[in-house]
């Protein structure tokens, strides 16, 4: 029987799932070293105030309490860094306010940490936290971005206002000139609403300190141990990185928000050293809502200049990005990486973008699945749809008129990105055909008969991902015929073990069940850049494949003598080295056993020269109940270009997950603050998450063009679903409302109340 190949393009089931679904997974909450103590954080219930802590001694005397730490106790710890700064338009660097481990004398958002309680149990720590009295002297609060800019109270008075940074990109002079000669200008102001990540497993950490070696160990639910180790060493503890080991076990979701080094990590390490025992902290869901970085939260004004034929001439965008009360680790960089993608799939000769970060008394904002690119795709696709309405040109015709064409690749956009491949028109037409756009009018007429509104919308997106730093991979062969991969990425449920095993199978022919993947330990893995920006398989996988290919060449050379054959005639398959076209073979294990130990392993740090640019079209049909404003997604079709596909089943799973998060943002997830800075949606009682009946299973197709800047021809796919979903869904809803009432825009989230209100206003205007 011929051995099966499970390399690139195969679709084996995920090998890691059996352990996870049978309860053998090991998550952060399962880590309980001997002598474990438990930490709870006291968080501010007010948004802006000076404060003093009272009743500390009484709280320390409560049963089980080991220690209570305040800002004065942890003064030796460094502050949270912002490493994603961008320059202002005048080429200056913005001032970064101090983000201390515990607030010293002023709190600036609800959830700001003011004390840490360590006790024998989490319940005893929580009781002591509740016993601490806090005296507040309230200060003025601002939560609205526009109000913060227009004379609202200063969150950082020494900075002279609430502008965190004021940057721009593009060519203002040429853009202004193009607008001056434009036949028409289409304008749109839109909100990209704030969202809370809500992964299944909340964040947490276990901190340990070894007095003999002077080494710290932090076990954390993270997106990459090498992301945390240097920040803890250089910025927080100020020690040699070699003195910190960071470990990450199984992770129940990350979506960008677990990419960062949070306050709790350094504080628990501090406590573990002082107390001489391990300290564990696990976030409650309430902690998560007010302590983990939020996502999105932009307001943008966009203008598109067109000529008399509807050809795009220029783009202007002015974006206000809510940074929250502090500049978080990558906060300023997120709107920037969105801004460089604002041209979308279109030939726009010139553009100018202004970006202003704004301080408010809210939770800091940072990366969330897509990190800037969903915001960019949403803006340009809503703007193009509005242009189609105002110009009286069908949305697909207008796009076709302005799409970058395949023969124009590589194409440099006005915002500075160079696309290597893409056939945007072909994907759009395949999606429209798959969604039966031609038969929509008949279905819309039937919906009107039934007293409902029907709408059809689509969005053509492109994003930049799988770029930047190299990724480390070390592949080690063993004399049983297996292999172990040590890699610096971090799986959070994506299926890395299966994916990397497929690449080893592709190059070395080793069966999937004989390949082991090791991630998440700075002592075992030399270096790495973690998982984020859809980079793990395109970048980390390239390193695995290149290292495996080097080993394969070494094995062929060694086996050639044994088999008396040319190395080029040898295939590696099913754990054997086979002379092609014959039954002559030798086991891989026997060849490996004859290799010197150093020849049994290979490392690679492949670095992408440019990002990959996955792209596609999402087409959606909706039906709206006029009586309730409820939206029913009745059809959803996606056609994507992801270059070379490693595993089509896992790819489709990634797209489905991203789509659900996009649907959540577009229809359901509303992060609401009141004027006093209270987060009104701080639990699942108030914050609406998408459920199964909100999320249809999309029809998913690909029309792939291999990437020219990736070693395997792959394009990143982890964030694409969330990028295409929001603009397509809003376009579909606006189409329904425009047909009935002439409405040209609605903001997210399109809750039943928001849509019902729009319908009532439309009915009133119609008389």
Cα–Cα distance for residue pair 125/111, rounded to 1 Å: 17
Q: Give 307's Cβ-side CA count (13 Å radius).
A: 9
Q: Which domains does the chain have, with CATH numbers?
A: 17-25+468-606 (3.30.365.10), 31-139+197-291 (3.90.1170.50), 298-466+611-766 (3.30.365.10)
What tens digit of pLDDT does each residue of 597-610 get?
999 999 999 999 99
* Burial label, 627 (beta-carbon count in 10 A; 0-12, 13-18, 19+): exposed
Task: Locate 589 and state its tokens.
Answer: 């294990």
Look up residue 184 and give its DSSP letter.
E
CB atoms within 10 A of CB 129: 21
Three-state SS across 37-74? EEEEEEECCCCCEEEEEECHHHHHCCCCEEEEECCCCC
For range 56-80, the mean pLDDT: 98
* Residue 414 DSSP SS3: coil
What tens digit of pLDDT does each residue of 486-545 get?
999 999 999 999 999 999 999 999 999 999 999 999 999 999 999 999 999 999 999 999
For range 86-101, the mean pLDDT: 97
Written as one string, the DSSP assignment of 330-355 is: STTHHHHHHHTTTTTTB--SEEEEEE
Closest CA to 382 of 729, 623, 633: 729
What tens digit of pLDDT does each residue of 34-45 get?
999 999 999 999
What tens digit of pLDDT does each residue of 207-238 get?
999 999 999 999 999 999 999 999 999 999 99
| Per-residue pLDDT at 310 | 97
Alpha helix (H) residue ranges in 513-628:
541-563, 588-594
2 pLDDT more than 90:
no
* Residue 281 DSSP SS3: strand
Close Cβ partners of 348 (under 8 Å, ≥ 6 residues apart): 312, 313, 314, 315, 402, 413, 414
Q: What percent of the chain has pLDDT over 70?
A: 100
Residue where the block lists tokens 């994003």: 463
For range 445-459, the mean pLDDT: 96
Cα–Cα distance for residue pair 148/361, rounded to 1 Å: 9
What tens digit of pLDDT does each residue of 263-284 get?
999 999 999 999 999 999 999 9
What tens digit of pLDDT does each residue of 315-343 get?
999 999 999 999 999 999 999 999 999 99
What tens digit of pLDDT does each residue of 241-267 get?
999 999 999 999 999 999 999 999 999
| Per-residue pLDDT at 3 | 64
Cα–Cα distance for residue pair 111/133, rounded to 1 Å: 16
Residue where the block lists tokens 């079709």: 637
Instruction: End-to-end CA distance of the chain: give it in Å, rounded.
Output: 75
| Per-residue pLDDT at 1 | 46
* Long-range contact pairs involving 123-128 (C-beta distance under 8 Å, separation at least 24): 124/38, 124/62, 124/63, 124/64, 124/65, 125/38, 125/39, 125/40, 125/64, 125/65, 126/40, 127/62, 128/40, 128/59, 128/60, 128/62, 128/64, 128/65, 128/68
Task: Locate 336 and state its tokens.
Answer: 């920037």
Look up residue 203 and give its DSSP letter.
P
* Residue 133 DSSP SS3: strand
Written as one string, the DSSP assignment of 94-120 is: PPPPP--SS-SSEE-STT-EEEEEEES
The pLDDT confidence band at residue 5, using thresholds 50, 70 and 90, is confident
The pLDDT confidence band at residue 86, using thresholds 50, 70 and 90, is very high
Let me know: does 153 contact 64? Beta carbons within 8 Å.
no
């Amino acid at each position: 029987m011929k051995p099966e190949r499970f390399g690139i393009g195969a679709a084996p089931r995920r090998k890691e799932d059996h352990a996870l679904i049978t309860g053998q997974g090991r998550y952060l909450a399962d880590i309980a070293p001997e002598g474990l103590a438990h930490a709870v954080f006291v968080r501010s219930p007010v948004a802006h105030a000076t404060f003093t802590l009272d009743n500390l001694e009484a709280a320390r005397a409560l049963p089980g309490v080991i220690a209570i730490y305040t800002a004065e106790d942890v003064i030796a710890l460094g502050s949270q860094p912002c490493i994603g700064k961008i320059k202002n338009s005048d080429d200056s660097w913005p001032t970064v306010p101090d983000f201390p481990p515990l607030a010293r004398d002023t709190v600036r958002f609800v959830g700001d940490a003011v004390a840490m309680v360590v006790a024998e149990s989490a319940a005893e720590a929580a009781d002591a936290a509740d016993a601490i009295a806090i005296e507040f002297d309230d200060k003025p609060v601002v939560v609205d971005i526009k109000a913060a800019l227009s004379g609202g109270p200063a969150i950082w008075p020494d900075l002279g206002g609430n502008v965190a940074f004021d940057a721009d990109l593009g060519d203002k002079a040429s853009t202004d000139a193009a607008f001056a000669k434009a036949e028409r200008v289409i304008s749109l102001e839109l909100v990209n609403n704030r969202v809370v990540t809500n992964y299944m497993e909340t964040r947490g950490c276990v901190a340990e300190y070894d007095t003999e070696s002077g080494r710290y160990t932090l076990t954390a639910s993270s997106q990459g141990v090498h992301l945390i180790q240097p920040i803890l060493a250089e910025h927080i503890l100020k020690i040699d990185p070699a003195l910190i080991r960071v470990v990450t076990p199984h992770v129940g979701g990350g979506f960008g928000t677990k990419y960062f080094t949070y306050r709790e990590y350094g504080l628990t390490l501090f406590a573990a050293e002082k107390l001489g025992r391990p300290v564990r902290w696990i976030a409650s869901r309430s902690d998560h809502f007010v302590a983990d970085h939020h996502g999105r939260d932009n307001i943008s004004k966009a203008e598109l200049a067109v000529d008399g034929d509807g050809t795009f001439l220029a783009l202007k965008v002015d974006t206000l990005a809510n940074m929250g009360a502090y500049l978080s680790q990558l906060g300023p960089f997120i709107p920037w990486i969105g801004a460089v993608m604002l041209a979308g799939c279109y030939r726009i000769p010139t553009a100018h973008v202004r970006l202003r970060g704004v301080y408010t008394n809210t939770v800091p904002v940072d990366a969330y699945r897509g990190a800037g690119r969903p915001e960019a795709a949403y803006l340009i696709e809503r703007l193009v749809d509005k242009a189609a309405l105002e110009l009286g040109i069908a949305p697909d015709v207008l796009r076709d008129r302005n799409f970058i064409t395949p023969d124009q690749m590589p194409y440099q956009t006005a915002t500075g990105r160079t696309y290597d491949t893409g056939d945007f028109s072909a994907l759009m037409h395949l999606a429209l055909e798959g969604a039966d756009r031609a038969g929509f009018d008949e279905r819309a007429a039937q919906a009107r008969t039934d007293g409902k509104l029907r709408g059809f919308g689509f969005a053509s997106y492109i994003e930049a991902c799988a770029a930047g730093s190299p990724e480390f991979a070390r592949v080690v062969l063993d004399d049983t015929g297996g292999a172990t991969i040590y890699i610096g990425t971090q799986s959070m449920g994506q299926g890395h073990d299966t994916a990397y095993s497929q690449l080893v199978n592709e190059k070395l022919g080793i069966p999937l069940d004989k390949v082991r993947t090791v991630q998440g330990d700075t002592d075992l893995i030399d270096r790495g850049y973690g998982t984020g920006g859809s980079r793990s398989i395109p970048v980390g996988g390239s390193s695995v494949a290149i290292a495996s290919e080097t080993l394969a060449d070494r094995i062929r050379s060694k086996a050639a003598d044994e088999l008396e054959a040319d190395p080029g005639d040898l295939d590696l398959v099913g754990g054997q080295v086979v002379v092609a076209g014959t039954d002559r073979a030798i086991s891989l294990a026997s060849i490996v056993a004859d290799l010197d130990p150093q020849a049994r392993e290979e490392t690679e740090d492949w670095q992408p020269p440019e990002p990959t640019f996955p792209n596609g079209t999402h087409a959606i049909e909706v039906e709206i109940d006029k009586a309730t404003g409820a939206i029913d997604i009745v059809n959803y079709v996606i056609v994507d270009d992801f270059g070379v596909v490693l595993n089509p089943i896992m790819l489709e799973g990634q797209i489905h997950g991203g789509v659900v998060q996009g649907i959540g943002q577009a229809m359901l997830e509303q992060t609401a603050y009141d004027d006093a800075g209270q987060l009104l949606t701080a639990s699942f009682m108030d914050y609406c998450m998408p459920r199964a009946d909100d999320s249809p299973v999309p029809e998913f197709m690909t029309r792939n063009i291999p990437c020219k800047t990736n070693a395997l021809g792959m394009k990143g796919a982890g964030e694409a679903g969330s990028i295409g979903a929001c603009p397509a869904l809003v376009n579909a809803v606006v189409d329904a409302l425009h047909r009935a009432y002439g409405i040209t825009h609605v903001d997210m989230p399109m809750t039943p109340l928001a849509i019902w209100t729009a319908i009532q206003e439309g009915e009133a205007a119609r008389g």
